């Protein structure tokens, strides 16, 4: 089983991601501070012009106004530059960090075993890499910046306004506090509704994905109408979920707008009173109004931050959880390298179960296969043939007993070396989106075109490939949908030819091939098996008739063994399997 280990100090780990971008990070903060300082200074200059310049002689005043005007223009340029810097470089820093984390999690994915993937949905693994990491990087770059900007603006504006007129300052900060509380309450409700929404949309999406991926089944059963109905129901629920979210969103935004106007109006009314008292000058009132933005903007920023923090931090939690899963199949510390193997394979008392609390699929299997031997494995569906073969390259580790390769326990061999010795043609062939050439070359990265073509010829695939629209450069579509079953299998055999391993596992497709391609596949398989230790999981009589050694696998292990004739003469499990057409 995969194990979870306890993570060390989370925040420290998180901060570690800034490390390579320390300079960028501090530059980002510097420009954030600079930009907000400029925003605070401009209204002060306005106040200066209004207060002092009016009392000066005209010619002198004009000169000073021009100077201050130019000064403000410079400040605007500084603000522009700062704003550009934090938007561009700040986001880029986020992208770099996201890039690093993506690398980390993707290479982690590559290490995890089959057991892990058996229990995961690809969609979820994908969302770890995409949406979670995006949330984290947003938090990492906006978080520190937003907090700094908000505090400088809020505190700076408050201190300046206290000095301009403390009574008016207290009135507006009072309203800002009420506004903040309102925003936090509504934001919390909105967040909850959004979360519900996302869950609902994820459900609907997975239903759509399922239905589209299975469109061939849908059509073959003529169930388009049912799918439409199912979809329509989900789609209705989508609208319902959105309704609540938008209600809260409307409350939030209209409330925030109203509060912003309220601060202006309250300052104006109170200010006008003070004006008539003579305790406030017109210039100060204007200054006040110019600062209102500095109050309201941080409120929205801070509220957004609480949301960003929750999303980013829970994304980070999930990221750590994933990274903490230790691969359960890895090299033993004392594993040895293997260069060449003869291909002698021995199963000693091998038992295996997929999950700890499940029944054993294989129990006490003993088997010896000599180098170069051709062994056919038959048995009813679900007997464990595929399972038995997947133990040899250590896709899963045995639960009990051991498997030896050339007399050495396979757990003592470096995984990479072990798997290099084994070629597998799987029951359901997996081809990657791309060209035929690329897919065959997957068997031996770096192989020349000639080598690929030679392998294709050996696998009897060359002729059909040459008939394709762009021969070897033909795009085969996602998972090779543009090819027939037999063609896919032959490409897979070509891959194995190219890899040229001493041990071969051929898991015959259960779905019937037509007679013609069956014969071609059979022929290419026999060529491939020559001089290799070969396991063939057979579902067709034609595949095994010539095998000198046939193993019959049942729930009780290997029940019978012999040639086709011998086994028929026994009139046991094999004979019955043959009667049923295997």
Instruction: Kindly list the residues in this chain that would bind Mg ion in the complex (CB under 5 A).
Output: 386, 427
Site string for ligand DGT, 336-365 (x = CB under 6 A): ------------------xx-----x----
Selected binder of ligand DGT within 206, 386, 474, 500 (CB under 6 A): 386
Does residue 510 interact with ligand DGT by CB under 6 A? yes
Q: Quick one: CA dihedral 547, 341, 492, 539, positive or negative?
A: positive
Instruction: Tell me how far, at minimum, the Cβ of 384 lies from ligand DGT, in Å.
Output: 4
In the DSSP assignment, the letter for residue 370 is -
In the DSSP assignment, the letter for residue 50 is H
Instruction: Tell me how far, at minimum, the Cβ of 537 lies from Mg ion, in Å.
Output: 6
Query: How far is it, in rounded angstroms, from Cα 171 to Cα 165?
Result: 10
Residue 120 or 206 with smaller CB distance to ligand DGT:
120
Contacts of ligand DGT in 164-183 (CB under 6 A): none
Structural tokens at position 242: 């959105």
Query: How far is it, in rounded angstroms, from Cα 142 to Cα 445?
Result: 42
Selected binder of ligand DGT within 47, 385, 462, 540 (CB under 6 A): 385
Output the 3-class SS for 80-105.
HHHHHHHHHHHHHHHHHHHHHHHHHH
Out of Mg ion, ligand DGT, none, what residue 384 binds, judged by CB under 5 to 8 A for its kind, is ligand DGT
Residue 164 or 388 with smaller CB distance to Mg ion:
388
Who contacts 559 (Cβ-Cβ below 8 Å, separation ≥6)?
Answer: 552, 553, 572, 573
Residue 263 or 367 with smaller CB distance to ligand DGT:
367
Per the CB < 8 A criterion, the answer to whether 139 and 319 are in contact is no
* Phi and psi, residue 283, nearest 5°: -60, -40
Instruction: Tell me how far, at minimum, the Cβ of 114 lies from ligand DGT, in Å.
Output: 7
Q: Which residues of 498-513 are buried (b: 16+ CB within 10 A; e: fewer)?
A: bbebbbbbbbbbeeeb
Out of Mg ion, ligand DGT, none, what residue 480 binds, judged by CB under 5 to 8 A for its kind, is none
Per the CB < 8 A criterion, the answer to whether 505 and 530 are in contact is no
Instruction: Tell me how far, at minimum, the Cβ of 382 lies from Mg ion, in Å.
Output: 8
Instruction: Tell me how far, at minimum, the Cβ of 506 lies from Mg ion, in Å.
Output: 11
Helix (H, G, I), strand (E, B) or coil at 360: coil
Contacts of ligand DGT in 199-238 (CB under 6 A): none
Selected binder of ligand DGT within 54, 63, 382, 477 (CB under 6 A): 382
Out of Mg ion, ligand DGT, none, what residue 354 binds, judged by CB under 5 to 8 A for its kind, is ligand DGT
Instruction: Tell me how far, at minimum, the Cβ of 120 lies from ligand DGT, in Å.
Output: 12
Query: How far is it, in rounded angstroms, from Cα 415 to Cα 331?
Result: 6
Which stretch, 382-390, 513-521, 524-532, 560-568, contacts ligand DGT (CB under 6 A)?
382-390
Residue 306 or 426 with smaller CB distance to ligand DGT:
426
Per the CB < 8 A criterion, the answer to whether 80 and 299 are in contact is no
Structural tokens at position 343: 């291909």
DSSP string, 116-181: HHHT--HHHHHHIIIIIHHHHHHHHHHHHHHHHHHHHHHHHHHHHHHHH-HHHHHHHHHHHHHHHH
- Residues that bind ligand DGT (rule: CB under 6 A) add up to a total of 14
Contacts of ligand DGT in 118-157 (CB under 6 A): 118
Selected binder of ligand DGT within 58, 381, 407, 565 (CB under 6 A): 381
Query: How far is it, in rounded angstroms, from Cα 129 to Cα 122?
Result: 11
Does residue 20 interact with ligand DGT by CB under 6 A? no
Which stretch, 7-15, 215-223, 375-383, 398-406, contacts ligand DGT (CB under 6 A)?
375-383
Residue 412 or 427 with smaller CB distance to Mg ion:
427
Selected binder of ligand DGT within 90, 94, 312, 384 (CB under 6 A): 384
Burial class (CB in 10 A: 0-12, 13-18, 19+), 83: middle
Instruction: Tell me how far, at minimum, the Cβ of 582 lies from Mg ion, in Å.
Output: 12
Residues that bind ligand DGT (CB under 6 A): 118, 354-355, 361, 379, 381-387, 427, 510
């Amino acid at each position: 089983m995969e194990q979870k280990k306890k993570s060390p100090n989370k925040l420290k780990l998180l901060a570690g991601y800034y490390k390579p971008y320390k300079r960028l990070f501090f530059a980002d903060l510097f420009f954030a501070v600079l930009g907000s300082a400029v925003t605070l200074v401009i209204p002060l200059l306005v106040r200066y012009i209004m207060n002092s310049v009016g009392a000066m002689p005209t010619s002198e005043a004009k000169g000073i106004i021009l100077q201050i005007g130019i000064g403000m223009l410079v400040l605007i340029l500084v603000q522009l530059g700062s704003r550009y810097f934090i938007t561009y470089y700040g986001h880029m820093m986020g992208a770099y960090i996201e890039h690093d984390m993506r690398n980390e999690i993707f290479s982690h994915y590559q290490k995890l075993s089959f057991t892990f993937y058996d229990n995961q949905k690809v969609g979820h693994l994908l969302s770890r890499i995409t949406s979670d990491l995006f949330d984290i990087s947003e938090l990492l770059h906006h978080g520190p910046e937003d907090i700094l900007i908000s505090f400088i603006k809020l505190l700076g504006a408050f201190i300046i306004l206290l000095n301009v007129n403390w009574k008016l300052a207290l009135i507006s900060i009072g309203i800002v506090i009420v506004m903040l509380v309102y925003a936090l309450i509504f934001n919390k409700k909105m967040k909850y509704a959004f979360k519900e929404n996302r869950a609902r949309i994820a459900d609907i999406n997975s239903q759509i994905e399922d239905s589209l991926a299975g469109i061939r089944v849908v059509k073959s059963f003529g169930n388009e109408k049912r799918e439409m109905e199912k979809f329509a129901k989900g789609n209705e629920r989508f609208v319902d979920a959105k309704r609540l979210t938008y209600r809260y969103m409307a409350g939030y935004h209209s409330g925030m707008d109203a509060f912003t106007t309220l601060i202006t109006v309250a300052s104006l009314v109170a200010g006008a009173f003070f004006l008539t008292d003579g305790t406030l000058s017109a210039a100060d009132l204007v200054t006040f109004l110019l600062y209102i933005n500095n109050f309201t903007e941080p409120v929205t920023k801070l509220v957004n931050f609480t949301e960003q923090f929750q999303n980013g931090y829970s994304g980070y939690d999930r990221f750590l959880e994933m990274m903490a899963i230790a691969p359960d199949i890895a090299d033993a510390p004392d594993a040895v390298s293997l260069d060449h193997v003869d291909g002698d394979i021995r199963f000693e008392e091998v038992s295996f179960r997929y999950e700890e609390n499940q029944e054993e699929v294989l129990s006490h299997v003993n088997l010896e296969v000599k180098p170069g031997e051709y062994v056919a494995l038959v048995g009813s569906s679900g007997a464990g043939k595929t399972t038995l073969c997947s133990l040899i390259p250590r896709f899963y580790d045995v639960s009990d007993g051991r498997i030896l390769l050339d007399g050495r326990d396979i757990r003592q061999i470096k995984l990479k070396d072990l798997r290099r010795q084994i070629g597998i043609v799987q029951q359901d062939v997996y081809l990657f989106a791309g060209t035929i050439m690329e897919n065959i070359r997957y068997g031996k990265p770096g192989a020349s075109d000639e080598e690929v073509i030679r392998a294709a010829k050996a696998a009897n695939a060359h002729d059909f490939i040459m008939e394709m629209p762009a021969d070897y450069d033909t795009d085969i579509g996602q998972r090779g949908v543009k090819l027939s079953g037999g063609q896919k299998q032959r490409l897979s055999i070509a891959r194995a030819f190219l890899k040229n391993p001493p041990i071969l596992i051929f898991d015959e497709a259960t779905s019937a091939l037509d007679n013609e391609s069956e014969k071609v596949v059979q022929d290419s398989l026999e060529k491939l098996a020559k001089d290799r230790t070969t396991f063939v999981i057979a579902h067709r009589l034609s595949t095994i008739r010539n095998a000198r050694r046939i193993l019959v696998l049942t729930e009780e292990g290997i029940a019978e063994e012999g040639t086709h004739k011998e086994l028929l003469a026994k009139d046991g499990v094999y004979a019955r399997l043959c009667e049923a057409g295997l």
